Structure 1
Amino acid sequence: MVLLGDQQSQLMSASNVSRVAILYPFAAVIYNLFFHPLRKFPGPRLAAATKLAKSYYLARGETVDWISKLHDKYGPVVRVAPSELSFIEAQGWKDIYGFQSAGRPTNRKDPVFYAVASFETTNLLNANDADHARTRRIFSHAFSDKALKAQEPLLRKYVDLMVEKLYERAAKGKIDMVEMLNFTTFDIMSDLSFGEPLYMLENSEYVPWVALILGSLKGAAMVQVVSYLPLISGIVGFLFNKLINRMRRVHFKFCVDRVDRRLAAKTDRADIWTYVLRQENEKGLSLGEMHSNADLFMIAGTETTASLLSGLIFHLLTNPESLKELTKEIRSAFSSPEEMNLSSLVRLKYLHACLEEGLRMYTPVPAGVPRLTPPEGAAICGRWIPGNTAVYVTPFTSFRSVINFRNPEEFIPERWISSDYDSDNKAALQPFSVGPRNCIGKNLAYHEMRLILAMLLYHFDLRLSDESKSWNNQKVYALWAKPPLMVMVGPRKR
């Protein structure tokens, strides 16, 4: 049979497409290894050639451990994917995330990493520079020192309830401190964001909405894995995104309903919206921006604070001398818990040192948050980085590196108050990031952490249960995948 001319042409076209599809991955590997602008940066050959290596460790929750080993082998900057560099030097924070000098473009957020967090509008996390500056200026009043002092009774209400619940449960023996701290931080932020708690402390159980948040982290990591692998991103990406979007709709609607209810309340109570609404004018927040940012606060201002406290408690319980010193400072500084407040707790030097060391040893966001260099490139840590390169500091690795800290694997709060550790490059510890997009809730987080930890150690004696001796061996899916932290809790011996 003789094929017609157009049929032959179609077959030839299909054949050419097939050849391109087969040869393209090989051509990309050759380019990435020998011609890519990042070819001279150190790192494993497989990581330079393809994103398969990082995707593999990301899917297993082992990216941070893998990157840490690469930095141990290759030094302060490592190529972890064809167009991706990880840094651990302190200067990296300023060069990547910090304020830039006049005329120098900023490193924009990597759109592959920053998915839009709401279905209607952007928020502080992913807004463009102009919208971010306007939104942050409005919210800054709600996170100012004046606002935090006004919000102190609200914080104290839930910390006191946490103590009450711990007294009730102490007789039963072991308590999961991860669970108790999540109950506390979610109730606090819910009251600040929605005008009402989630009643998790009161009911001693997770509400389904919070369980959904905590359970979706691994799924979000899988979406990132799929985005790295074009050959499977079609059908698999569609299925993953459909699942994640369904979960996000449930989460977002929960926030929308409660924000609307709070806005309809017309009250001057000291919460986020009281301060935001005072700033309303022609440049104020739209309703969609209110919804989207409340959505963000309920993730960024809850699990991260509970994570830090969980990790710090673990390290204190596995370092009894540090626990003894901190407990002594707290109990000797106050004759009654009523004397504890945001102002008086700031004066406790060893408490602050423990918080800093906790943030170093168990930073709540351990993986790097990528930015893209401008098209013309940028100087980072004294090296010229080509344009459109994904760059970031990997916090966990930076905070545990001998480049920045002496005895980095040891929990030593004294390094923050003793001249014995003056050689430490303390500027490397930036758990709240730096620059115009650093964490707006930093001061709230510190006050919350001080109050919760101080009240806990004032009232109770703690001992780590044997089943949690290896608690810190965890995987990372954007945030730590924390197992229960089982602690023996008993009223303090007076």
Structure 2
Amino acid sequence: MTFAWTVSPALGAAGVLCGFTTHHGVFIRGEWHVHAPWIVLSHLWIFTCLILADRFVMGSSPLLLAAPYGVVLISCSYLTGLFLSIVVYRAFHHRLTKAGFPGPWYARVTKLWHVWACRDSKNHVVLHKLHEQYGDFVRTGPSELTVYRPEILMAIDGPHSECIKTDWYDLLLPNFALVTAREKGGVHAARRRQWNRAFSSQALQDYLQRILCHLEDLYVNIAADAESGRVSNARDLFYWYSFDAMGDFALGKPFGMQKSQEWHIIIVRLQRAFALADPYWVPLGPRVLQLKDWFDMVFWCQTQMKSRIEDKSRHEGRDITHYIMMQDEESEEVINDALRWLSGDSLQTIVAGSGPIANALVGLFTEVGRNPKVLEHLYQEVKDVDVADAKALASLTFLNACIEETLRLYPALMTGGSRMTTHGGLAVCGRWIPPYTNIVAPQYLISRRDDCFVQPYKFVPERWTTAPEMVLNALAARPFGTGHTSCVGRPLAMDALRLAVAGITKKYKFRLAPGEDGRGMDRDLKDQFVPNPGGLRLCFEMRHS
């Protein structure tokens, strides 16, 4: 053992050197998040092999230490060197450190602080506090910069941008989806063309009848509450409507929640999964924590899509899947590839379609419920219009202004949708952002800037109609995104919103329920990839013409 203590410094130094070498030679280059579980397992395997080898030859050579002392020493030294190298590099030598962007000192070293800060899914609140403290450019991670300027939206997604989606978008692997395709051309462009067919004029006309059917179910539930004098849980009603509609569009069949007036078990699991999977938990959740709800949800989508592909009657009723289906459906290779894409696409449609529509409806009825004058103005505009005519509704100025103002205040993507600069970096607002930097552009906060909108926190539909002077910078409101990554389902979402708002307004009067102040929308709003609004209780009353 005297010999062991003699060679300990040498082994310790060797371990530290290996740690530094591994960081600078391997981990500092490229992306490793997808391989994180295998990296952990491979390190455990190497350490285990060292222990077994040490035990096997223990005592046969004076150069080996008594197990497990030698292995523990070199392993701890290696990990110390590895993490010390990471900390020193990020804190003092990283490209963002050299660029001098302000932010919490610990954000230079790790994103774990952000995971903890967002444990209650209030990332928009966390980022708002950072903005007040540090300004428009804040370093929120080792390789992440949050930019609050409206110019950043066009800079990262405009036609001349070279930015790509960040590693966050690998969350669905091994499945794929249009929204998670990271490269700008190639696969994303081809898939986008397929999705564009799913939202052609003819396709939207096909979807219209389905929307109207789901709206009838919504009217039935509202009428039942109105006739019995019950207070309506408007949040549940709007979520059931949007999920039923999107399930119908994506899978060819609704979830049936409006008819049963109960939450579908897979939607409950979906919401539980995203309760632990906000924009900073997602990369860790499915891959490291192995969240059961997440995998149950993904497996369910895979099962539904497999059944959907094999269903030979699918051509009788055209849904989104029909339009984006691979053309050569008889090829086994194509079918397997289609299943991986369609499983991801179906999940994308359900989550990215249902959540924002429901969020917008809860937000709009919250704001209108607090302002009887806005409700009366809406009613006067829609009362003589066929509320089942999507084209007629699209021409209604005040209706569209109310929806646009709602989407400004409550955008479909609050703080997500990050982008990464490429080898050329990015110049915006006189600042240079280094290459390979993740950029967060929090739409929820950008669209509420007082240098972009007069009275930014107030619901004022007239700013989009008769009071344009209240819009100081229209570029700050981009609820559906911009450029080639903009929301492909925007026409369908707008139709679903117009039809619901116009139909309910024409049929019913409504007001906030006793004890309801409408503040829950903002107070209880959660940022879980898509917004998760607070509750809303309304009292509906049938209009008598």
Q: TM-score range by the shorter chain?
A: 0.7 to 0.9
Matched, 1:476 2:533: no
Can you list the C-alpha shifts for 1:356-391, whole angstroms capped at 9, x where unaligned?
110111123211321111134222344221111110
Tell me which of 309, 323, 333 is aligned to 1:260: 309
What is the deviation of 1:36? 2.6
What amino acid does structure 2 have at the position aligned with 1:488?
C
**Aligned 1:165-176 pairs, distance under 5 A:** 165-170=221-226, 171-176=228-233
What is the deviation of 1:33? 4.0
Matched, 1:320 2:372: yes
Deviates more, 1:1-10 or 1:414-423: 1-10
Q: 1:12 to 1:380 in 2, by over 3 A?
A: farther
What is the deviation of 1:259? 1.9
Tell me which of 291, 300, 306 is aligned to 2:352: 300
Give the match for residue 114 of structure 1.
169
TM-score, normalized by length of structure 1?
A: 0.87
Tell me which of 80, 104, 127 is aligned to 1:44: 104
Q: Secondary structure at the match of 2:239?
A: helix
What is the deviation of 1:209? 1.4
**Residue 269 of structure 2 contacts residue 297 of structure 2 at CA under 8 Å; is this kept in 1?**
no
Give the match for residue 143 of structure 1.
199
Q: Secondary structure at the match of 2:169?
A: coil
**Residue 230 of structure 2 contacts residue 539 of structure 2 at CA under 8 Å; is this kept in 1?**
yes
Matched residues in 2 for 1:312 and 1:349: separation?
16
Q: 1:195 to 1:245 in 2, by over 3 A?
A: closer
Give the match for residue 94 of structure 1.
154
Give the match for residue 132 of structure 1.
188
What amino acid does structure 1 have at the position aligned with 2:368?
L
Aligned CA-pair RMSD: 2.9
What amino acid does structure 1 have at the position aligned with 2:348?
L
Q: Which structure's CA Rg is the greater one?
A: 2
Matched, 1:492 2:543: yes
Q: Secondary structure at the match of 1:476?
A: strand
What amino acid does structure 2 have at the position aligned with 1:201?
Q
Q: Secondary structure at the match of 2:281?
A: helix
Give the match for residue 123 of structure 1.
177
What is the deviation of 1:478? 2.2
What amino acid does structure 2 have at the position aligned with 1:125?
V
Tell me which of 188, 210, 213 is aligned to 2:267: 210
**Residue 50 of structure 1 contacts residue 82 of structure 1 at CA under 8 Å; is this kept in 2?**
yes
What amino acid does structure 1 have at the position aligned with 2:154?
K
What amino acid does structure 1 have at the position aligned with 2:115?
S
What is the deviation of 1:78? 1.5
What amino acid does structure 1 have at the position aligned with 2:170?
A
**Aligned 1:154-193 pairs, distance under 5 A:** 154-170=210-226, 171-193=228-250
Deviates more, 1:265-274 or 1:166-175: 265-274
Can you list the C-alpha shifts for 1:381-404, whole angstroms capped at 9, x where unaligned?
442211111102101110111232
**Residue 116 of structure 1 contacts residue 122 of structure 1 at CA under 8 Å; is this kept in 2?**
no
Matched residues in 1 for 2:543 and 2:294: separation?
47
Deviates more, 1:69-78 or 1:266-275: 266-275
**Aligned 1:250-399 pairs, distance under 5 A:** 250-260=299-309, 263-276=311-324, 286-288=337-339, 289-331=341-383, 333-334=384-385, 338=386, 340-399=388-447
Matched residues in 2 for 1:65 and 1:126: separation?
26
Matched, 1:449 2:504: no
**Aligned-residue identity in percent:** 24
Matched residues in 2 for 1:396 and 1:29: separation?
32
Matched residues in 1 for 2:440 and 2:372: separation?
35
What is the deviation of 1:436? 1.2
Matched residues in 1 for 2:476 and 2:279: separation?
30
Q: 1:26 to 1:317 in 2, by over 3 A?
A: farther
What is the deviation of 1:309? 0.8
**Residue 259 of structure 1 contacts residue 294 of structure 1 at CA under 8 Å; is this kept in 2?**
no
Q: 1:163 to 1:124 in 2, by over 3 A?
A: same
TM-score, normalized by length of structure 2?
A: 0.79
Q: 1:405 to 1:75 in 2, by over 3 A?
A: farther
What is the deviation of 1:83? 1.5
Give the match for residue 458 of structure 1.
506
Give the match for residue 486 of structure 2.
438
Can you list the C-alpha shifts for 1:87-128, whole angstroms capped at 9, x where unaligned?
222221121122226xxxx222211x1234264x41102224
Give the match for residue 41 of structure 2.
none
Matched residues in 1 for 2:325 and 2:158: separation?
30
Matched residues in 1 for 2:131 and 2:451: separation?
10
Q: Secondary structure at the match of 2:113?
A: helix
What is the deviation of 1:224? 2.2
Matched residues in 1 for 2:149 and 2:173: separation?
34
Q: Secondary structure at the match of 2:240?
A: helix
What amino acid does structure 2 have at the position aligned with 1:243?
K
Matched residues in 2 for 1:109 and 1:445: separation?
23
Deviates more, 1:288-297 or 1:387-396: 288-297
Matched residues in 1 for 2:432 and 2:256: separation?
52
Give the match for residue 221 of structure 1.
278
Matched residues in 2 for 1:430 and 1:452: separation?
22
Give the match for residue 290 of structure 2.
241
Unaligned runs of 5+ in 2: 4-61
Matched residues in 1 for 2:142 and 2:387: separation?
56
Give the match for residue 44 of structure 2.
none
**Residue 244 of structure 2 contacts residue 258 of structure 2 at CA under 8 Å; is this kept in 1?**
yes
Matched, 1:414 2:474: no
